[in-house]
Amino acid sequence: MSLIDVENLTLQFKTDEGLITAVDNVSFSLAPGEVMGLVGESGSGKSVTAKSLMKLNPGNAVYSRESKITLHLDDGPVDVMSLNRPRDMEVARGGAISMIFQEPMASFAPAMTIGSQMVEQLLIHTDMSKSQARELSIEMLDRVGISDASTRFGQYAFEMSGGMRQRAMIAMALSTKPKLLIADEPTTALDVTIQAQVIDLMKDLVDEFGMGIIFITHDLGVVAQTADKVAVMYLGKMIEQGPVREVIRNPYHPYTQGLIDALPQLDDLDKPLMPVPGDIPSPLERPEGCVFHTRCGKIIGDICRTAVPSWADTGENHRTACHLCHEGRHA
């Protein structure tokens, strides 16, 4: 059985300029122990999608009535969308789902010790005493490879290096033993060498704790190393998803192909970089039809400009939303 099912998630933000669609009819599911990479440019709605799982979006977010997020826990399913009181949301916020953020420095409160923030979270989500929470926190810090963990427990974020902060963040996120970890570009702000360490650490911890991970990134290279499956988003829409190797070897959607071509290739340095042409349109001017048609090099006619493409199977467990699939042509 899956760990989390997201069905028809649609989210709009109420702004002075009107309603802005940030997530448009996104569906996916994740099994326990599975790692899903959520890929796309900035502004593609991947962070907003992930935050929806915790109902963490700001107060001007409006979820459509069809949006449904179901969390399958040991004591039965939880309908995340129906959680309204903050007290009830605890299960999705730090209980069964934890989140780590892109900026490890900015995600710790600067004037509170790492330890006090870890203990606070444990006291909310578990029946532990303060000293038990302290013990577990130090154990977790030690587990993620922070040396001299009991000293670090009493320190502040500004006293640590970037990599150490992100380790501490991971330790904090995992201390409540969540079933699902959302990692929002956890390695983007780190040096490449530290990146690799943090990714290895996360892989180890998935195996050990058996939890699912949603790994948000714009870096397909990181996804290829870590994820079991990948979902590509563009302008709030999910456009392709499937097993990671399959999607990277046989990308179907022109946008996915563009993302892969845009990666620098170390074995052929003379090969020119191939950026995806054009810019992501303003969310205020969402294109009609296929959202990608304004930048697509393989447009096949008016159908791209007028009709929203539906999903088509393009391999084993590999689905793509592109009119090319229905035309029977491989892009």
Partner 1 sequence: MEWGVSAPFQMLAGNNEMLQFARFAATRAVMAVVTLVLVSLIVFSLMELVPGDCAERYLAYKNTQGSAITLADIEAERARLGLDRPFLTRWASWLSGAFRGDFGESCILRVNIAQLLGDKFWISLWICLGSLTLAYMIAIPVGIISAASRNAFLNNSLRLVSYLGLAMPNFLLALMVMLFSTIYFGETLTGLFSPEYREAPWSWAKFVDLLKHAWLPIFILGWSATAFALQTVRALMSDEIGKLYVTAAAARGIYGRRLLWRYPARHALGPIVNSLGFDLNRIFNELPIVALILTLTEAGSLLLEALARSNDQQLAGAIIFLLTAAIVTLNFATDILLAVIDPRVRKSILR
Cα gap 116→253, rounded to integer Å: 47
Q: Does position 87 bind partner 1 by CB under 8 A? A: yes
Q: Does 1 bind partner 1 (CB under 8 A)?
A: no
> What is the 3-state secondary structure of the chain?
CCCEEEEEEEEEEEECCEEEEEEEEEEEEECCCCEEEEECCCCCCHHHHHHHCCCCCCCCEEECCCCEEEEEECCEEEEHHHCCCHHHHCHHHHHCEEEECCCCCCCCCCCCEHHHHHHHHHHHHCCCCHHHHHHHHHHHHHHCCCCCHHHHHCCEHHHCCHHHHHHHHHHHHHHCCCCEEEEECCCCCCCHHHHHHHHHHHHHHHHHHCCEEEEEECCHHHHHHHCCEEEEEECCEEEEEEEHHHHHHCCCCHHHHHHHHCCCCCCCCCCCCCCCCCCCCCHHHCCCCCCCCCCCCCCCCHHHHHCCCCEEEEECCEEEECHHHHCCCCC
For partner 1, which stretch binds (CB under 8 A), given 53-61, 132-140, 191-199, 298-306? 53-61
Query: Is 116 a residue that touches partner 1 (CB under 8 A)?
Result: yes
- Could you tell me the smallest distance in angstroms from the CB atom of residue 279 to partner 1? 26
Give least dist CB 140 to partner 1, A.
Answer: 14
Residue found by looking up tokens 């993302």 in the block:
259
| Candidate ranges 73-81, 101-109, 196-204, 271-279; the one touching partner 1 (CB under 8 A) | 101-109
Q: In terms of CB distance, is 138 or 324 closer to partner 1?
A: 138
* Residue 87 beta carbon to partner 1: minimum distance, rounded to whole angstroms: 8
Residue among 66, 77, 124, 278 that touches partner 1 (CB under 8 A):
124
Stretch that binds partner 1, among 116-124, 218-226, 227-235, 272-280 (CB under 8 A): 116-124
The rounded distance, in Å, linking the Cα atoms of 1 and 12 is 30
Q: How far is the CB of 103 from partner 1 (least distance, A)?
A: 6
When asked if residue 38 is in the footprint of partner 1 (CB under 8 A), the reply is no
- In the list 36, 37, 38, 125, the residue contacting partner 1 (rule: CB under 8 A) is 125
Positive or negative CA dihedral for 93, 95, 97, 100? positive
Least CB distance to partner 1 at residue 154 (A): 8
Angle between helices 192-209 and 162-175 (to 10 degrees): 10
> Is 135 exposed, middle or buried (CB count within 10 Å of its CB: 0-12, 13-18, 19+)?
middle
Of 13, 28, 63, 101, which one interacts with partner 1 (CB under 8 A)? 101
Instruction: Pick the binder of partner 1 from 113, 132, 150, 225 (CB under 8 A).
Output: 113
Quick note: the x/- pattern for partner 1 over 139-178, rule CB under 8 A, is: ---------------x-x-xx------------x------
Judged by CB under 8 A, the number of residues near partner 1 is: 33
Q: Which listed range, 113-121, 213-221, 275-283, 300-308, lies at the site for partner 1 (CB under 8 A)?
A: 113-121
Nearer to partner 1 (CB atom), residue 119 or residue 238: 119
108 part of the interface to partner 1, by CB under 8 A: yes
Is residue 131 near partner 1 by the rule CB under 8 A? no
Is the Cβ of residue 120 or residue 228 nearer to partner 1 in the bound state?
Answer: 120
Chain residues that interact with partner 1, rule: CB under 8 A: 54, 56, 59, 86-87, 89-90, 93-95, 98-99, 101, 103, 106-113, 116-117, 120-121, 124-125, 154, 156, 158-159, 172
